[in-house]
Structure 1
């Protein structure tokens, strides 16, 4: 019992040490000297409270046209507490329907003693943070310890994307290899938190990584023959501008994104199949390797349909504005089928779905092999 406790403490210390080292690495890795793409001197975005609506822009029919003129009290920054006059445009993306007492975010420009402010948008920070906290609370309340670990793994994933993946892209690392690195790291951490050190975890990790890489390779093959790459996206002008001022490799961004977007679904299928085979083996350790493999395939077949729909519908939902545009303008079939937007959506959806389909036999094969092999992994005694 004492040795088991000591091993547990040692394992926790090792994990903490690894996380600290990883955090230090991310800190120094993010010391990036970014090129200044826009002039931000004297400009800041700060919270402010609407003190008075000096001139409204509401029309008789209830619509808004033009600008509101409001007085706001700055709540942040060097000029905190000062009251200044600001404009608020009535736009779909910028401005706000200002009312006395509400908190907004203003774009403050300072030149000498002159301050010019315009309402940038509503202050959404409290609502966003509140929803995130509510989500994590629901995750823990329903999932218990597993839910807590799921929340931690989700946070770790976003840390990897923001503080590792994006800086790697900006510094000129291969987008595909950068995405593979993030996939490997997040998969290892997520699977470990959910399943600990076990044959099930190893099977899930290997199946997820292989499946996601397959999605990326399928996408690259499709892109090669369909003449589609990262230069065919709608944001290409902005990306070229950034690439001209950094080491960003635009061509591989599209395929790297497919790896990241496929990760969640492939990880779900991988863990589900591995857990099922592991449970079957625990209940009947006398089953052969082939029987376990066949059971995993049977379970995976039921998942393929639903998970394939998940990815296809996710990509379709993200392109609903484009689809409505196609429908409203009544574009011809020959025009639609050969557009870059359609080719990209088909490539993303089918590449991810193909990865899900192939992950099932891969995980089933790895799990059935590990569970019937004379290998000790983790604290669980071998039953074989």
Structure 2
């Protein structure tokens, strides 16, 4: 037993080392400079004086503020510099003495220009994330802490594996497939180790996400929508020309990744249910276990499908408000690329969830019974 545990720990450490080496190699890439940034830096600063305010009598702001800021990072750390802060919704800040901000410092031929970019909200965002992970761990117990670790690993996979792979010119779809398999295996292992239940959930998740991607490609083809019909395509094409990124596949890679969470949830829930039933009543047949999985999965289909559709609707809410306010014609709306893409994303991901239920039910019911057979043969 002790030897088995040592082998398992060694396998995990070896896997992590290989993953770390692969990640380091992936990120050793020289990025093409797309935007001229020489002489411009973003630094932390603190407002120390308001020289000219832009506060109006009605409490609103218009124009710019002229302020003095103390630079807290970078080459000008400790210096007091004059800066301007606009009243834009996206840039600038409502500066008060003591407020921490991020500033843009632009230097050219000895001249320095400073403007307030935004609030320095990094600490607050990290605190919110930390509170979430701590509460997840406290309420979820041991599995909660493992789930928190799985979330961190998922973030690392997207930022340090998927994005560099795409940047290097690897097909975004195949990069997404790799990330989906990697996240699924690691997260399922963290939750339940290498049990029959987790292996069945892994297989069901990968198959469900794969079905979602294939259906998305099919739906896009028959509706004459490609990955080049997305918003900001001009900027993406420019990026594609300057780098090796295959822009046309990004939309489908996004569908793969966005469907993963819901499909994984359904797969593990159905596999856990079948496993629990099997442990309580091991005499049940494969068909009876399968039917139990289907019955539980049916209840999940409605809520999960609703969750996915609402998530995609929420993501395009600005577009929907714009369409509603300007009273677009029905034929205009239904044939807009933005609407077509949202429908394809939502429906294909939902199909992935729906079809995961019977897939996991079959895999888990057969897997549980074969597991029993294998254990009896080893005992004899």
Whether the TM-score (by the shorter chain) exceeds 0.5 is yes
- 1:257 has 2:254 as partner: yes
Q: Secondary structure in 2 aligned to 1:232?
A: coil
Measure how far apart 1:161 and its partner are: 0.7
Aligned match of 2:238: 241
Q: What is the rounded CA distance, in whole Å, between the counterparts of 1:191 and 1:66 in structure 2?
A: 53
- 203, 206, 211: which one pairs with 1:209? 206
For the residue of structure 1 that corresponds to 2:228, the secondary structure is helix
Question: How many Å separate the matches in 1 of 2:372 and 2:82?
Answer: 72
Confirm whether residue 358 of structure 1 aligns to residue 355 of structure 2: yes
- Output one character per residue of 1:1-27: Cα deviation in whole Å (capped at 9) or x when no partner: xxx123213311221221122112101
- What SS does the corresponding residue of 1:330 show, helix, strand or coil? coil
Q: 1: CA distance between counterparts of 2:299 and 2:185? A: 26
TM-score by length of 2: 0.97
Q: Which runs of 5+ in 2 are unaligned?
A: none
1:374, CA displacement in angstroms?
4.9
CA–CA separation in structure 2 for the residues paired with 1:108 and 1:159: 30
For normalisation by structure 1, the TM-score amounts to 0.96
Residues 163 and 380 of structure 1: is their aligned pair in 2 closer, same or farther, counting only changes over 3 Å?
farther
**1:140–1:147 contact (8 Å) kept in structure 2:** yes
Pick from 56, 59, 75 the counterpart of residue 56 of structure 2. Answer: 59
User: What is the aligned partner in structure 2 of residue 276 from structure 1?
Assistant: 273
2:28 to 23, 28, 31: 31
In structure 2, how many angstroms separate the alpha carbons of the residues matched to 1:208 and 1:336? 34
Deviations 1:130-189 (A, max 9, x none): 001001100111001101110111111111111111111111111111111100000000
RMSD: 1.7
Determine the C-alpha separation between the residues in 2 that align with 1:25 and 1:369: 36
Q: Secondary structure at the match of 1:48?
A: strand
* Unpaired stretches in structure 1, ≥5 consecutive residues: none
Separation (CA, whole Å) in 2 of partners of 1:318 and 1:173: 27
Q: Secondary structure at the match of 1:79?
A: coil
- Distance in structure 2 (CA, Å) of the matches to 1:112 and 1:18: 51
Residues in 2 aligned to 1:86 and 1:77: alpha-carbon distance in whole angstroms:
16
SS at match of 1:115: strand
Alignment of 1:339-354 (within 5 A): 339-354=336-351
1:177-205 Cα deviation digits (max 9, x unpaired): 11111000000000011011111011100
Look up the match of 2:170: 173
The residue aligned with 1:142 is 139
In structure 2, how many angstroms separate the alpha carbons of the residues matched to 1:133 and 1:311? Answer: 26
- 2:153 aligns to what SS in structure 1? helix
Structure 2 Cα separation of the partners of residues 350 and 174 of structure 1: 23
- Partner Cα separation in structure 1 for residue 351 and residue 8 of structure 2: 37
Give the Cα separation in 2 of the matches to 1:183 and 1:156.
Answer: 12
Aligned structure 1 segments of 4 or more residues deviating by more than 6 angstroms: 379-383
Contact 1:198 1:380 in 2 (8 A): no
Match of 1:306 among 300, 303, 306: 303
